[in-house]
Structure 1
Amino acid sequence: MRMQRLLAPAVAAVAALSVLAGCGNGSGLRVEGAEPADSGSATAPTPTVSPTATPGFRSGPATTVSLAQVRTNLLVDKGLDPNARAILTNCTVISRCLSQGPTVDVMHNGVPQQVVYIHALEKFVFGVFLIALEPAGPRRIWSLKVDQPTINASPQGDLVVESEKFEPDDKPCCPSGRKVEVYRWDGRQMTRVSSTDQKGD
């Protein structure tokens, strides 16, 4: 009897320890931080961002420029043509006086330049700007007074400007000639390398 009384507390203690041991690191009692790291589990890789030479700008045709910012920068440009300045000063709805043309890279620096047309309310284009997209904002690097131009980049990266030209006998509505000019970036500015007149039929 005495032996039973001595063994009863010991058996109870062993049973309690067994129960607690079973709960310590399984589905029962969970101790945060007690579980070892699972070396077989895959961890998500840390994303890396590749640096670019010109932050904030993407090269290629997807790049666009804010015409409102172009207008603001042109108005502080001291070399802006007076007629263009008058149009832009009175132009409160930007789409009525400026529109985007093609994106080109005639400077061959990997950062696009945007062709921007200036026109009257009736969409008659009378001039064009070539805008460099720079971190400090859009900057005019070239402009041309020309009527109804079509502008493209040549395979060599030159700027090809086709425009309407009035012949002496043409009515005011209907120019019959066209002029094709080619401009090239010489490292500092755009220079005209050729000009050809094409008479109408």
Structure 2
Amino acid sequence: MRTQPSGRRWPAALRRTAIPAVAAFVALTVLSACANGGGLRVEGAEAPPASSTPSIALGTNGVQPEPKLTPEVAVDLAQVRVKLLADKHLPQYARSVLEKCTVIPRCLSRGKTVDVMHSGTPQQIVFIHTLENFVFGFFLIAVEPSGPRPIWSLKADLPTVNASPQGELVVESKIFTIDDKVCCPSGGRIEVYRWDGRQMAKVSSTDQ
């Protein structure tokens, strides 16, 4: 076998064979160092530390349920009837209905629990209706340790009463014209009331 004389360049074919071999050797050396804990440290490769923040339970649809701002209550309707009849300012028609009502659920029913007075003490909407179950108004009743206390009332036909996100009372009611049947009112009204520190004051009223 002939040896390559010193000082002379290697043939191109031999250089092409030697260079990949050297590169492969260097790559294996680097990988071996990383496997033994040396070499470059890769940011983010380590598992993140456990969080101390408690997890938040989600609803069935994956959305965090909104907290209930006003606890639900179940005011005693028999006590409400007694308090209403003791009120000298109770409208005569409402008084007549309550005096004849011996089965309380036939003339009074519970609505939503709200806190439109912003007192931290819940108030409950109590609807009043005829014995034929036609709702013609409602009362705002404060639920206190001493018992229910009437705060305010409104005459409205077939009302729906809710609290707005701003803490106002939104009343949707029906309007009957002279030709409307009891089943089918042709108009509607939306009223918004706000507690002014002493009473419920009307903010707006829109007829539909």
d(CA) in 2 for partners of 1:123, 1:170:
18
Residue of 155, 172, 188 corresponding to 2:198: 188
Q: Which moved more, 1:166-175 or 1:184-193?
A: 166-175
Q: Normalising by structure 2, report the TM-score.
A: 0.64
> Structure 1 residues 66 and 171, CA, compared in 2 at 3 Å: closer, same or farther?
closer
Q: Which runs of 4+ in 1 moved over 3 A?
A: 167-173
Q: Normalising by structure 1, report the TM-score.
A: 0.66
Aligned to 1:122: 132
1:109 matched to 2:108: no
d(CA) in 2 for partners of 1:196, 1:167:
16
> Structure 1 residues 176 and 77, CA, compared in 2 at 3 Å: closer, same or farther?
same
For residues 37-186 of structure 1, the aligned pairs below 5 Å read 60-167=70-177, 169-186=179-196
Tell me the secondary structure at the aligned position of residue 73 of structure 2: coil
d(CA) in 2 for partners of 1:138, 1:94:
15
User: Which residue identity does 1:97 align to in structure 2?
Assistant: C
**Gap regions ≥5 residues in structure 2:** 1-68
How many correspondences in the alignment? 140
d(CA) in 1 for partners of 2:177, 2:167:
30
1:176 is displaced (CA, Å) by 1.1
d(CA) in 1 for partners of 2:180, 2:186:
7
Q: Per-residue CA shift, 1:139-176, capped at 9, x if unaligned? A: 11110111000000001000000000124553454211
> Structure 1 residues 197 and 72, CA, compared in 2 at 3 Å: closer, same or farther?
same
- CA RMSD across the alignment: 1.4
d(CA) in 1 for partners of 2:181, 2:143:
40
1:63 is displaced (CA, Å) by 1.4
Q: Per-residue CA shift, 1:63-94, capped at 9, x if unaligned? A: 11000000011110111111111111111100
> Structure 1 residues 153 and 84, CA, compared in 2 at 3 Å: closer, same or farther?
same
